[in-house]
Amino acid sequence: MFAGHVGAALALGRAQRRVNVGVFVLAALLLDAVLWVLVLLGWESVAIAPDYASTHQPQFDFPFSHWLLDALVHRPELPLAGDASARLGLGLWNAMPLALAVEAAIALAGLALFLSGAGLSRGRKLALALVLLVVLAGTVAGMTVAPPPPSIAAMAWSSLGAIALVCLLAGWFGRGAMDPGPGPG
């Protein structure tokens, strides 16, 4: 749901132009970043499932709650409030073409909402659109044709790197969209 998170952040950026859209992207991806840090620390766990080549789904063990939008796609493995609580997940990843269509729709709708009326130059709009399209393409490739990661640590580090890069690029290219508000009067 990486591209969908970015799309949701862009839609929020449309609603509040005084905040750099990179902040919304960071907020949308923050729990994913926390997840990978906790995996690296050994406090949460992820395993490369034996059927990864066909499903492209790692197995997660979340003792902490994860972001609500992920409940659309994850299997019922997202605890509501700790290990002993009910687990959420609609399992949209079990119907991958539909899951990717929903993700693409969220991402592209968020981009369209953000760019409409944004005070960005044409170049910045194109750059931001390109960032989202690359994220979307990476999401589709990762969910369909990518080989299993060499290790969970490699998966965690590459995910953290991608999150940082996308946040920085969104903040950089989206900075001209900020509404300075009324000037001194």
Instruction: State pLDDT tens for residues 143-179.
Output: 999 999 999 999 999 999 999 999 999 999 988 776 5
The predicted structure's pLDDT at residue 183: 44
User: What is the band of 65 on the pLDDT scale with cuts at 50, 70, 90?
Assistant: low
Which among 33, 32, 29, 37 is positioned nearest to 10, based on CA atoms?
Answer: 29
Which pTM value belongs to this model?
A: 0.83
Q: Which of 21-30, 49-58, 79-88, 167-176 has the lowest mean pLDDT?
A: 79-88
Instruction: Give 78-86's long-range contacts (Cβ < 8 A, gap of 24+).
Output: none
Please determine, for residue 128, whether its predicted confidence score (pLDDT) is greater than 90.
yes
Report how far residue 85's alpha carbon sits from residue 97's, in angstroms, rounded to the nearest whole number.
30
What percentage of the chain has pLDDT greater than the value 70? Answer: 92
User: What is the Cα–Cα distance from 22 to 20, expressed in whole angstroms?
Assistant: 5
pLDDT computed for residue 185 by the predictor: 44
Six token digits for residue 39: 């995996």
Is 80 exceeded by the pLDDT of residue 184?
no
Pick the closest to residue 24 from 139, 131, 170, 163 (CA basis). Answer: 170
pLDDT above 90 for 92? no
Q: What stretch of H or E contains 79?
A: strand 78-79
Contact 89/71 with Cβ under 8 angstroms? Answer: yes
CA 75 – CA 61 distance, rounded (Å): 11
Alpha helices in the chain (DSSP H): 2-15, 21-41, 52-55, 96-115, 122-144, 152-173
Any idea what DSSP says for residue 129?
H
Q: Is the dihedral of CA 76, 146, 108, 102 positive or negative?
A: negative
Whether the CB-CB separation of 64 and 31 falls below 8 Å is answered with no
User: What would the pLDDT profile of 93-113 be if each residue is shown by its tens digit?
Assistant: 889 999 999 999 999 999 999
The mean pLDDT value for 24-47 works out to: 89
The distance in angstroms from the start CA to the end CA of the chain is: 44
Q: Which residues contact 144 (CB under 8 A, 6 or more apart)?
A: 56, 96, 100
Whole-number Å distance between alpha carbons of 15 and 8: 11
